Amino acid sequence: MSAVKHSQAMHFQARAGEKVRNPVLQRALQKAKPLFVGKRAKGVAALADDGLDFELLRTTCEGIRNRTLADLDVWLDIFEERAKATGAEVLWARDGDEVSQLVVDIARRHGVTKAAKSKSMLSEEAHLNEALAAAGIRPVETDLGEYIVQLAGETPSHIIAPAVHKTIEEVEALFAREHGRPVETRTSADIPAMTQEARAVLRQHFLTAEMGISGANFLIAETGTAALVTNEGNGRMVTTLPKVHVVITGIEKIVPTLEDFATLMRLLPRSATGQSISNYVSLLTGTRQPGDLDGPDKTVFILVDNGRANLLGSAYQDMLRCIRCGACMNHCPVYFSLGGHAYGWVYPGPMGSVLTPLYTGIENALDLPHASTGCNQCGSVCPVRIPLPTLMHRLREEQVERGLRPWSERLALKAWAWIAGKPLLYRWLTRRAARYLNWLADGEGRIRILGLAPEWTAGRDLPVAGGQTFHELYAARKRA
Amino acid sequence: MRLALYVTCLVDLMRPSVGFAALRLLESAGCEVVVPEGQTCCGQPAWSAGNRALSADLAKKAIAELEGFDYVVIPSGSCTDQIRNVYPQLFAADAHWGPRSRAIAERTYELTTFLADVLKLPAVPAKFEGSVTYHDSCKGLRGLGIKRQPRELLMKVNGLALKEMSDCEECCGFGGAFSVKFGDVSTRIVDRKCDSIAAAGADAVVGGDLGCLMNIEGRLRRRGDETTRVLHIAEVLAGGGNS
């Protein structure tokens, strides 16, 4: 699996430690969280203005996704047939390496030296930018956040807000360097000016790139259409100006009809940014026809598996419903303590904690399913009702079943469960434990350093009671 | 009405006063309360770790000792969620334990839900001079829908003023083994909770789950907050809040 060699998910614990201690990152995250949460809450509440019920819509959207997945092969066949009828080419890729190979081949065939990209997380799965650069083709990210991340030589830390981990000072430094000007002092009032600056640079790239690469939020089977949901307009430039347009997307992104797409659009922008609809919604069908004012001469769809087909019919199929809105990470206490890079692979937050082990190997991402407090804030906002905590739990079970947990944890759990199964022994031991904890505590009933749980007392005291257990005191009370 | 009080392993070891407060509350409401003798732990730590076999063993033990009562009452949303929502899943395909787990699940209630919705308690025997802010624990809130019940009960406490904190539904970062496995991440999360508590400016923070409360209290104290009291709702409702 090519994804494995790029995954840093096994280093989650160490990276998490770095991230919580990075004050710049913490400042950026602290700023972003209330915006995401507040906007979504407002957007969802506003559904009532249109006479719509959120829970009912969730059920409908969940149903659309489930029905599609139940006959995924059929819908993919229909999509391929309809897309070809509009003049597009449809290619299939088993994994990220195949994606890169196909894109490089297409680029070479058309003499491409520069490719303008709009946001595509699948191109991150494929490490496409590296492959293009290695082939002498310059990839230019044109989503503002992706542009920033590319300038910084980083990867996106959020699926819809790739540069959410960056502060304005960091962005200013990158722009000054890249755009060849001195660094200025910036406040949020300067964001429009900085955006204009990036826009002027990107405009030249749109006009000179021979190839446009985009993802697709949905593929619509009945019309052979790619649907693009964006806010910056770069998606339109990328998909209409260059003579070649390549759409890279996962096979699960398909929906049967335009009607289904319209229904899902009720929840996608609201769940992501709180908008009732994004600034741009593009439905891209086929190549430029005689009389069309714009559009590519060549459209190629690359439909990618990269682990998805394995989930069909498995205990994890629900995950394929995901429409990539980012609401799960926006509401995740762990994500907003770390940002996305700690997760080590393409997808962060709760959806990443499920997808990374499934796409890169359970044994290569052991911490991720445990990187959750089980709060279910993710599951309760997911627009297609993916039971994220249940899926993470299932992954934990699979780790146990496959003997992947550390022996110390296995032993401790076994010993504890054995003792908890023997009430008399349990009573005796807990009495001893209560005494011991009380002995460790200072005069105010607190333990400041506990060797048994150093991770706990590194950040907080352990409050303890008076050295006797409930059952001990209760038995004494009954005797009295 | 004869009910079983399941005090939870955490209350047993770390804060017995919560168990006695629950006992007092239920008895003063006229219930016959039994504390089943063999009780230890509901098995949630094993379940959360992904160990289905060990959690099933402990679930069977708990089911057997909790049968034969009109109700089972637990001063914890987390353990109640385990019995109500997880036990039936654990034994979904088991012809013997399936029905037994479902029967127990139906009769098991978190303390405030039991007091507010089953007993429909008209008054609580307590006085509390001061203001409190309520932390909604995740399993209780999102697993069992507990939100209104604790507030309804707190409002019945003589002298008590409720001051809601912002983001009261946000996780405190405890998460059982999570707080030990990923201590620094957990600390970062509970810091945000402590910020909300500080901003609310109440005399006490109150909750229904001892795990969350120990996490919050431990962090508040480490941050140097020596005055904000951290209380289990049973303690407040039973009148021990000011002691």
Q: What is the pLDDT of residues A357-402, one digit of tens each?
A: 999 999 999 999 999 999 999 999 999 999 999 999 999 999 999 9
pLDDT digits over A283-298, tens only?
A: 999 999 899 888 999 9
Q: Please tell me if residue B89 touches chain A, with a CB cutoff of 8 Å.
A: no
Q: Taking a C-beta distance cutoff of 8 angstroms, is the pair A319, A381 a contact?
A: no
> Distance (Å, rounded) from C-alpha B65 to C-alpha A49?
51
ipTM above 0.85, yes or no: yes
Give the sign of the dihedral formed by CA A372, CA B147, CA B83, CA B233. positive
Cα A9 to Cα A3, A433, B50, distances in angstroms: 11, 37, 19
Yes or no: say if A194 and A171 are a contact pair by the CB < 8 Å rule: yes
Q: Are residues B16 and B91 in the same domain?
A: yes
Interface contact A366, partner B, CB < 8 A:
no
Is B59 part of a structural domain of the chain?
yes
| pLDDT at residue B93 greater than cutoff 70 | yes
Residues B91 and B133 in one domain: no
Q: Does B107 or A479 have the greater pLDDT score?
A: B107
Q: What is the CATH number of the domain that holds B100?
A: 3.40.50
Tokens for A124, please give them. Answer: 């991150």
Contacts of B169 (CB under 8 A, 6+ apart): A377, B136, B141
**Do residue A374 and residue B175 have CB atoms under 8 angstroms apart?**
yes
Q: Do B38 and A453 touch (CB under 8 A)?
A: no
- Which residues of chain B are within 8 Å of residue A353 when distances are taken between CB atoms? none
Q: Is B170 on the interface with A (CB under 8 A)?
A: yes
Distance CA B197, CA B166 (A): 8
Nearest-Cα residue of chain B relative to residue A396: B50
Alpha helices in chain B (DSSP H): 9-14, 16-28, 44-48, 52-66, 77-81, 87-90, 97-107, 111-113, 138, 144, 148-155, 178-181, 183-200, 210-222, 233-237
Q: At what angle do helices B52-66 and A407-420 cross, to 10 degrees?
A: 10
The residue of chain A nearest to residue B46, with distances taken between CA atoms, is A413
Same domain, yes or no: B109 and B151:
no
pLDDT value for A69: 98
pLDDT digits (tens, 9 = 90+) for A311-348: 999 999 999 999 999 999 999 999 999 999 999 999 99
CB distance B48–A374 less than 8 Å?
yes
Tell me: do B138 and B88 sit in the same domain. no
Distance of residue A360 Cα from the nearest chain B Cα, in angstroms: 20
In the beta sheet, which residues pair with residue B119? none
Query: CB-CB: which of B52, B57, B176 is closest to A397?
Result: B52
* CATH number listed for the domain at residues A2-310: 3.40.50.10420
Across residues B156-164, what is the average pLDDT?
97
Give the pLDDT score at A465. Answer: 87
Of B40, B178, B217, the CB nearest to A373: B178
Within a domain: B201? yes
Cβ partners under 8 Å of residue A476, min gap 6: none
| A 387-406 residues with CB < 8 A to B | 393, 395-400, 405
pLDDT tens digit sequence for A8-45: 999 999 999 999 999 999 999 999 999 999 999 999 99
Cβ-based neighbour number of residue A208 at 10 Å: 13
Given B100, B117, B134, the domain boundary residue is B117
Residue of B nearest to A453 (CA): B180
B9 and chain A in contact, CB less than 8 A: yes
Residue among A16, A377, A426 whose CB faces B171 most closely: A377
What integer pLDDT is reported at residue A467 of this predicted model? 93
Dihedral sign for Cα B102, B104, B109, B110, please.
Answer: negative
* Band (B69; pLDDT cuts 50, 70, 90): very high
Please enumerate in sequence order all residues whose Cβ is within 8 A of that of B126, keeping only pairs 6 or more positions apart, or say none. B157, B158, B236, B237, B238, B239, B241
Contact B140, B103 (CB under 8 A): no
Helix A388-401 / helix A349-360 crossing angle, nearest 10 deg: 40
Is residue B243 included in any domain, yes or no?
Answer: no
**Which of A396, A440, A460 has the highest number of chain B CBs within 10 A, making it the mutation to test binding with B?**
A460
> Which residues numbered 405-444 in A keep a CB inside 8 Å of some CB on B?
405, 409, 413-414, 416-417, 420-421, 423, 426, 430, 433-434, 437
Instruction: Tell me how far apart the alpha carbons of residues A378 and A295 are, in angstroms, rounded to a whole number.
Output: 39
The helix, strand and coil proportions of chain A, stated in percent and rounded to the nearest 5, come to: 55, 10, 30
Same domain membership, residue B132 and residue B109: no
Question: What residue segments make up the domains of chain A, in order of their start?
Answer: 2-310, 408-479
B87's tokens: 């036990």
d(CA A376, CA A250): 26
Mean pLDDT of B39-59: 97
DSSP secondary structure letters along B146-175: -SHHHHHHHHTSEEEEE-PPTTTTS--S-T
DSSP string, A55-66: HHHHHHHHHHHH
Same domain, residue pair B130 and B232: yes
Contact by Cβ (8 Å): A308, A347: no
Is A473 an interface residue toward B (CB < 8 Å)? yes
- With contact defined as beta carbons under 8 Å apart, do A248 and A215 qualify? yes
Q: A2 pLDDT band (50/70/90 cuts)?
A: low
Q: Are A455 and B214 inside 8 Å of each other by CB?
A: no
Q: Is the pLDDT of residue B17 over 70?
A: yes
Q: Does B88 touch chain A (CB under 8 A)?
A: no
CA–CA distances in Å: residue A469 to residues A217, A332, A369, B17, B66: 56, 35, 34, 10, 20
Boundary-marking domain end, from B69, B95, B117: B117
Which of A377, A400, A470 comes nearest B51 by C-beta?
A: A400
Strands A218-220 and A225-230: antiparallel
pLDDT at A59: 98
My answer on whether B6 and B111 are in the same domain is yes
Examine the domain organization and report whether B109 and B155 are in the same domain. no
Q: Which of B16, B185, B221 sits opposite A337 (nearest CB)?
A: B185
**How many CA atoms are closer than 13 Å to the CA of A25, on its beta-carbon side?**
19
- CB B25, CB B232: distance < 8 Å: no
Beta carbons of A341 and A15 less than 8 angstroms apart: yes
Compare CB distances from A376 to B61, B138, B185 and report the shortest one's residue. B138
In this prediction, residue B243 carries a pLDDT of 52
Is A465 in CB contact (< 8 Å) with chain B? yes
The boundaries of the domain holding residue B69 are 2-117
Phi, psi of A326 (to 5 degrees): 85, 0
Q: What is the rounded distance in angstroms from the CA atom of residue A187 to the CA atom of residue A184? A: 10
* Cβ distance of B186 and A469 shorter than 8 Å: no
Q: Which letter does DSSP use for residue A388 in this model?
A: H
pLDDT tens digit string along A257-269?
999 999 999 999 9
**Stretch A193-209: mean pLDDT, rounded?**
96
Is B134 found in the same domain as B97?
no
Predicted pLDDT at A443:
83
Sequential DSSP letters for A84-108: HHTT-EEEEESSHHHHHHHHHHHHH
Residue with token string 């503002």: A144
Q: What is the mean pLDDT of residues A127-142?
A: 98
| Spatial CA neighbour of A261 closest among A110, A404, A68, A105 | A68
> How close is the nearest chain A Cα to the Cα of B42, in Å?
9
Taking residues A458-477, report their average pLDDT: 94
Q: What is the pLDDT of residues A392-442, one digit of tens each?
A: 999 999 999 999 999 999 999 999 999 999 999 999 999 999 999 999 998
Q: Is residue B95 assigned to a domain?
A: yes
Q: What is the mean pLDDT of chain A?
A: 96
- Report the domain count for chain B: 2
How many residue contacts between A and B have a Cβ separation below 8 Å? 188
What percentage of chain A has pLDDT greater than the value 90? 94
pLDDT of residue A1: 47
The beta-carbon neighbor of A397 closest among B50, B185, B217 is: B50
| Nearest alpha carbon to residue A333 among B15, B117, B156, B178 | B178
The answer, yes or no, to whether residue B34 has pLDDT greater than 80, is: yes
Residues in B closer than 8 angstroms to A436, CB to CB, are none
Which residues in chain A are contacts of B11 at CB distance < 8 A? Answer: 470
Residue of B45, B48, B184 with shortest CB distance to A458: B184
- What's the whole-number mean pLDDT along residues B27-32? 96
pLDDT score of A3:
66
Chain A residues lying within 8 Å of B240, measured CB to CB:
none
Does residue B50 sit within a domain? yes
User: At which of B61, B89, B117 does a domain end?
Assistant: B117
How confident is residue B59, by pLDDT bands cut at 50, 70 and 90? very high
B218/A456 CB distance under 8 A: yes
Q: Looking at the complex, does the CB of residue B30 fall below 8 Å from at least one CB of chain A? A: no
Is B242 within a domain? no
A368: its two tokens: 């991720």
Query: What's the token pair of residue B138?
Result: 């995740």
Q: Are residues B31 and B132 in the same domain?
A: no
Most A CBs within 10 A among B61, B169, B171, B181, hence the mutation to make, goes to B171
| CB spacing of A397 vs B185 below 8 angstroms | no
Residue of B nearest to A416 (CA): B46
Question: In B, which residues are within 8 Å of A455 by CB distance?
Answer: 179-184, 186
- Provide the shortest C-alpha distance from residue B128 to chain A (in Å): 22
Across the interface, of A373, A457, A463, the residue whose CB is closest to B217 is A463
